[in-house]
Each structure stands twice: as structure tokens, then as C-alpha cells.
A = this chain, B = another copy of it.
Amino acid sequence: MKIETIRSEGLAHLSYLVSSEGESMVLDPRRDCDIYVEHARRESVNILQIFETHRNEDYVVGSLELQNRIPSARIGHSAATSFKYGDDKLEDEDTFKIGKMLVTCVHTPGHTNDSMCYVVSDASIGNDPLVVFTGDTLFVNEVGRTDLVDIKKHEEMSRKLFHSLQEKILPLGDGVIIHPGHGAGSVCGGAIGSRDFSTIGYECKNNIWLDQSEDDFVQAKLKQHLTLAPYFKRCEKLNTDGPPLLSDIDPLKVIDVSILEDLMQDEENIVVDTRLAGQFVDGHIPRSISLDFKHMGLFAGWVLFPSNSFILLLTSPTDIDEAAGMLYRVGLDTVIGHLNGGFESWKAAGKSIDSLPIFKLEDIKSQLSYGTLEVIDVRQPHEAENDYIENSIYSPLTTIGEDMTKFPPEKPLVAICPAGFRSTTGASIMKRGGLANAGVSDNGLMEWKKRGYPIKTGSNQ
């Protein structure tokens, strides 16, 4: 029995390939599924099952994609949702034999009604549970969100989650290893620990959610305000109906400067600049959106829409497949390709270059008091719950595209965030949206606070 964890950065999505004696299962595969196919080929392993832990919201699941490559693999997910694809509609206590593993399905409603955990026993030894794949039900140091199915059912779902955890998961026993659906950095939990594994025994001692009464648990859940990206609904629908196959989309093109200029004539085409935020600020192709490579996996779903098409600007051409994969994972299939030679070739061709003004924190502080400048606070909701710069306008990346119609176009608009990545993305969106005065701060909120600049307590929402 061997467990391979596949981590998709940005989304902090964890999928698993679990093998025993030449047979294997994949849990929650991602859409760019070559990694599982290559494994199956290389090891001559037969993938018998693809299990989904629930109808995911923050990424498009790759089950159909993987089945299209490995037709013997059956797709299983909970019978509680009417999925329009898949082979096995799973009920609580359904079991599967894969190599020397016995896999038992455990229905754990809460995060969704169709949440399913998969408990694995090592049948070569006995029946005791050894590992549980918990999806978005239980994370390291956190538990699943309960606000996504329907905000009106927030309490009901929280209560369900409490029961699922207490009655289905914890009783598996302290010695059971936990492999969750997300790691640190995911928006699917508030404070997921920076580890991709744990044990039930360890979580019982350390995860504060597991040591509360039902009512305390529910009350605490109701107070959690987490990022709600519009693309979640899109993913939910795709994941219920079955997403389109990537093999049906066009291959990635290598674009030269002249073709890029042609493409840029069409408003629907967007240049996505994946270089470091600082490089973008210094100089960029006009109207491009800044999404640095390291963070684009997370932010792409928040700020880009499938009605557009995308041309990528890369630091290294070998990043193309990973960069495109990050868009595919959130249902942005219309990736045209990348600019050959990157920003250097644009510059070498003598094309016009834009930049963003940089505002110093000290100037922001003074100008803000005169009202001659606006600060746009682009943090996530849970970051903006406790304190904020007075008079700053709250507009997270998930809504800035709509919000900005209300920003005063005549004033300097300075995006601000804790460290500087999201503010650059935010400023690039404002600029593309017609706000010529958009800019960034030379430093983030962490520095603002460190300097003792005025901060207001309370929520900025």
C-alpha cells in the first residue's frame, strides 16, 4: 500500500493516488491529469476507481478527464447529489477491494450533503481502519466550511458537520491517519495547518473544532466569514453535470508580438502577466492583468472569467503547461497560449509599455487625511474583520471588477493588501477597467501596522 499525494499549488488542492499490488484508486483528481496517467503507465498500475469526496466548489474535478484516458477506471461519488455522470452512486458503508486494500465509504454531510470520506484498511493485516481521506470534512487544524451550499442553511449544515465528525470520523480511532482535500492556503478553510497529513488522535488533541459542544461549534461556524468567489457556483455546476474534456480544447499556441497585437484588438482577449508583482509594476503590456505565477493558482478563479480568452506572459517558457493547468483547474479553458520570448520580446519590438504609480506609505497616510487619494483594501473577508485603514474602501479581488464602477476615477486609487501581490492584481484590474489613476503602495498593511500608522478596529465590510 502506497499513498502518493499530488498537491496543486495555489488552490492547495490535495489529490491522492493510492496503490496496492498493481491496483490503485485516485481521489479527487485534478483536471490536468497527466500526472496520474503517467504514473499508471510507468508502474503498470491499474486504476480501478476514481473517488470524489464531494461536489467540489473551488476547482473543476478531473474525474471524467482521467476516465477518458483510463477507461477501466470507474467514477464513484455520493448518491446524495444527482450527478449527471459517474458509475458508482455511493452510500454509507459501501466497500471496495483494491489490491490488498479495503475501502469503506463513510457519508459525512456537513460541508456538502454529498460529502463522503473514504476509510482504508490494510487487508493483508486485518480490518482495522488505517487511513481516512477526509475531503473537505476535516482538515489539519480546521474543519470544512458550511456556508457554501446555501447561506440560509449555514446553521443546518454546521450541525450536520458536527454530527458527521463526532459520529463518523472521530470514532475511527486515534491511530487513523488523515489525508484531507486541502492544505494551508486554501479558501476552503480558515486556518488550515501547514501540513498535508495528521491523525485523528492528534487532531482530537489540537484541533479546537473537535473539542466543542454542538452549540458552540455551530455558533463558531456561523461567525466564520470566508472568501466567497463567484466562480464557486460555476465549478459546482460543472462538477454536478460533468465538466468538458480538455482534449476537446485547442492546443496551446506560441504567439509572437504581431499576433498578440492582433489578439489584443479584441476586448475579450486578456494578457495575463505571471511575472513577479514588482516587475509588473515597473513595466507591462498595456491592459494586462497581473497574476504572479506563485499565486495565480489561487487568484485566477477570483478575477478571470470564462467569457474571456487568455494569453500568458511567462518568465520561463517551460512554465506554460503548469500555468495553463492552473487556469484549467478553475474552469478557465480558453487559454490561447503564451507570448514567445516573454516581456523581453515585447520590449525588443519597441511596443508601448505601461507601468503603475507607486505610492509611499507615508504619502498615503498624509494624502488620505486630506482626502486627495483613496485606498482600496483588497483583502479577503476574514482578514478584514478586525481592523482596517480608516476611510479605505473595502473591495476584495473577488468583487473589485464590479465594485470599481463606484470608485472616484479622478483620484489616485491605491490598492493595498498585506504583502503586495493582491494589490498589484487589484490595481491591474482597475487600470484595465478604465481607472487610469490606479496604483500600488510601496509596502503592505503589515508594514503600515508595524509603523504604528492609524488603524481602525472593527470590520471593513
List chain A positions with a Cβ less than 8 A from chain B.
1-3, 20, 37, 40-42, 44-47, 68-72, 100, 122, 124-126, 128, 130, 141, 173-177, 193-206, 247, 250-256, 258-259, 317-318, 320, 340-342, 344-345
A345 partner residues in chain B, CB cutoff 8 A: 44
Q: Which residue of B lies closest to A316 (CB)?
A: B316
> Which of B40, B177, B247, B318 interacts with A177 by CB under 8 Å?
B177
A69 partner residues in chain B, CB cutoff 8 A: 251-254
Instruction: With A68-B253, A122-B195, A175-B203 given, name 13 new contacts (CB 8 A).
Output: A2-B195, A3-B197, A40-B254, A46-B341, A70-B253, A72-B256, A100-B194, A125-B141, A130-B202, A173-B174, A175-B202, A175-B205, A247-B250
A410–B279 Cα gap in the complex (Å)? 37
Q: Which residue of B lies closest to A256 (CB)?
A: B72
A193 partner residues in chain B, CB cutoff 8 A: 122, 124-125
A259 partner residues in chain B, CB cutoff 8 A: 71-72
Query: A46 near B200 (CB under 8 angstroms)?
Result: no
> Which of B175, B254, B341 interacts with A204 by CB under 8 Å?
B175
- In the complex, the count of this chain's copies comes to 4
A120–B71 Cα gap in the complex (Å)? 42
The answer to whether residues A1 and B194 also contact, given A175-B199, A247-B250 and a CB cut-off of 8 A, is yes
Query: A205 near B72 (CB under 8 angstroms)?
Result: no
Chain A facing B: main interface SS: mixed
Query: A42 near B317 (CB under 8 angstroms)?
Result: yes
The answer to whether residues A177 and B205 also contact, given A44-B317, A253-B70, A340-B46 and a CB cut-off of 8 A, is no
A344–B320 Cα gap in the complex (Å)? 24
Residue from A1, A194, A196 whose CB has the most chain B CB atoms within 10 Å: A194
The answer to whether residues A199 and B199 also contact, given A247-B250, A253-B68 and a CB cut-off of 8 A, is yes
Residue from A128, A197, A254, A317 whose CB has the most chain B CB atoms within 10 Å: A254
